Amino acid sequence: MTQQPLKVAVIGAGPAGIYASDILVKKTGGNVQIDLIEQMPAPFGLIRYGVAPDHPRIKGIINSLHRVLDTEQIRLLSNITVGRDVTVSELEEYYDAVVFATGAVGDRGMQIPGSDLEGVHGAGEFVGFYDGNPRFERSWDLSATDVAVIGVGNVGLDVARILAKTGDELKEATEIPDNVYESLAKNQATTVRVFGRRGPAQAKFTPLELKELDHSPTINVVVDPEDIDYDEASLKAREEAKSCDLVCQTLEGYAIREPKEAPHTLQIHLFEQPVEFIGENGKVTAVKTERTALNGDGSVSGTGKFTEWPAQAVYLAVGYRSDAIEGVPFNKQKNVINNDGGHVVDLDGEVVPGLYTTGWIKRGPVGLIGNTKSDATETIGMLLADADAGNLSHSREEDIVELFESKGLEHLTWEGWKKLDAAERALGEAEGRERKKFVEWEEMVTHSRD
C-alpha cells in the first residue's frame, strides 16, 4: 500500500456500511480516510428504522456501532443523498473508492389476486411507521380485529408481535414517539394469524424471537398440532442446524400446551400458501390459502384443500427490496447492484473501477446482521487488493464538504448525532423511559446542528 492514506466514501451508515468502515480501518492499520455518507439525519440504518422497538437486545448493537464511529479515521456526513444531492461521478473525483451499503427498505410484495385491495400492506410500510422513520406514515389504521401476516421470518414475527401487544405495553418499555403510541393505543386486533407455506423446519424465525413471543402476558401463542410435520430433508435440517432444531422445538411446545388466558391470540399457521386476498367494496375481508404438504426434499406442493380466513388487514412480510442508485448498474430482477462479490460490474459483466458494494444491496435482503461482517470482509479484501495493485486513484484533493457547501447542502456530523442522541434521551427521561424518538426530519436536523 502507498504511504498516502486511501480516501474512501462509504454510502450508507447502517450496519453494513459501518462494519465495512471498521474492517477498512483495521486492515489498513489506520492508513485510510473514510467519509461515511448517509441520507437520513441519523445513522444506524436498519438498527434504528428496521428493528422492532421492543427489541432492546438487538438495539444494543448500536453500542458497538458507536465505538466504530468514534474512530478518528471515520467521518460521518449525514443528511446527504447520493444520486440526488451529489452524483456518483462527483464522488469518484474525490475518493479512491466508493462502497455502496444502502441496504433494502422497499417491500417486495406478492403478485396474487387481491393484492391491490385496501388493507393489504407491505410489512416494511408498517415497520417504517412504528419505528418512527420520517419517510413513512405518521398514523396507522388499526381498527381490524382479524389480522393476517404473510411470511414466517423475523419481520413477520415482529409485525405480528407489535399487533398483538397493547400500546401501553410498548410505550412503557420502548422509544416509540407519541404519534406511534396514539395509533397503537387504538389497536383493535384480537386475532393475529401468521401464514407460512412450508413446515416448521423451513421457518426463518430466530429461536430467541420465537420463544420471546410468549413472554408477553397479552399474547396467547397457538400452533395447530397438524402443522407439525417433517420430511426427510426437514429432519436432516434439524440435525445440521441447532437454530432450526430450537425453532422446531419451540413450535412443538406451542402446539401441545394448554391455551393461555390473554386478550390477543397469535396463531402461527404452517403449510398454508396464500392464493388470493378476498375483498368487498375494494377492502380486504379474508385470506384464501391452499393447504400444502412436504415433498421429501423440504419443498411443498398444493393439496387442493382451500380455506378462507377472516382478515380486515393483511401485512406482506415476504422480503425487502433495494432501490437503484442513479449512476450505478442495477439488476432489476434481483434488486441488487450488479456485482461479482464486491466489485460493482456493468451490464456486460465488466468491473467498474473504484466502485464496490456490500450488505443487502449486494446480496439481497437475506441473513442476520452478523452475516454482514463476513460480507464486508469479502468486499474490503477486493478493494485493498485493487489498491495494492495501483488501480485506485482520485483527481481532486479538496474536501467534499466544499462541494456540499457550493451546492447549498446542509450535512450533519457525528457530533451532531451525539446532540440528537442526548435530546432524545432527555425526552424519554422526562417520561421515565430510556429514549423517545424524534420522528420529524426537521426536528432531527435542528437537534443535530453544530
Looking at the 3D structure of the chain, how many domains does it have? Answer: 2
- 87 and 128 fall within a common domain: no
| 441 lies in some domain | no
| 328 lies in some domain | yes
Instruction: Pinpoint the alpha helices (H) of 306-407.
Output: 360-363, 371-388, 400-406
- 304 and 327 fall within a common domain: no
| 407 lies in some domain | yes
What pLDDT was estimated at residue 429?
A: 94
Question: How is residue 188 written as a grid cell?
Answer: 383493535
- 252 and 270 fall within a common domain: yes
What pLDDT was estimated at residue 373?
A: 86
| 438 lies in some domain | no
**Which CATH number do you get for residue 389?**
3.40.50.720
- 147 and 293 fall within a common domain: yes
| 247 lies in some domain | yes
| 257 lies in some domain | yes
* Domain termination site, one of 320, 345, 361: 320
Q: Record the pTM.
A: 0.92
- 78 and 110 fall within a common domain: no
pLDDT along the chain (450 residues), means of 10: 83 96 96 97 92 75 90 97 96 97 88 96 95 95 98 94 92 90 96 98 93 92 97 97 97 95 96 98 98 96 98 94 92 92 93 96 79 90 96 93 97 97 95 93 92
Kind and range of the H or E run holding 398:
none
* Domain termination site, one of 320, 353, 370: 320
- 327 and 292 fall within a common domain: no
Q: Is the separation of the CB atoms in 355 and 98 below 8 Å? A: yes
- 365 and 386 fall within a common domain: yes
What pLDDT was estimated at residue 174?
A: 87
Q: Which residues contact 377 (CB under 8 A, 6 or more apart)?
A: 23
**Which CATH number do you get for residue 160?**
3.50.50.60
Q: Is the separation of the CB atoms in 76 and 40 below 8 Å? A: no
CA dihedral in degrees (33, 36, 41, 44; nearest 10)?
-120
- Give the CA angle between residues 231, 154, 263 to the nearest 5°: 100
How far is the C-alpha of 91 from the C-alpha of 97, rounded, in Å? 9
Strand order in the sheet with 313-316: 120-122, 313-316, 146-150, 191-195, 264-269, 219-223
- For residue 368, give its domain range: 6-105+322-412
* Domain termination site, one of 320, 343, 376: 320
| 211 lies in some domain | yes
What pLDDT was estimated at residue 1?
A: 43
How far is the C-alpha of 371 from the C-alpha of 359, rounded, in Å? 9
- 75 and 65 fall within a common domain: yes
How far is the C-alpha of 244 from the C-alpha of 234, rounded, in Å? 9
Closest CA to 110 of 317, 324, 336: 317
What pLDDT was estimated at residue 184?
A: 95
Question: How is residue 180 written as a grid cell?
Answer: 406511534
- 263 and 139 fall within a common domain: yes
The rounded Cα 335 to chain-centroid distance in angstroms is: 15
How far is the C-alpha of 103 from the C-alpha of 18, rounded, in Å? 12
- 146 and 174 fall within a common domain: yes
- 313 and 329 fall within a common domain: no
| 442 lies in some domain | no
What pLDDT was estimated at residue 370?
A: 67
- 165 and 310 fall within a common domain: yes
Q: Is the separation of the CB atoms in 245 and 213 below 8 Å? A: no
Q: Which residues contact 298 (CB under 8 A, 6 or more apart)?
A: 198, 201, 202, 231, 233, 234, 237
What pLDDT was estimated at residue 46?
A: 87
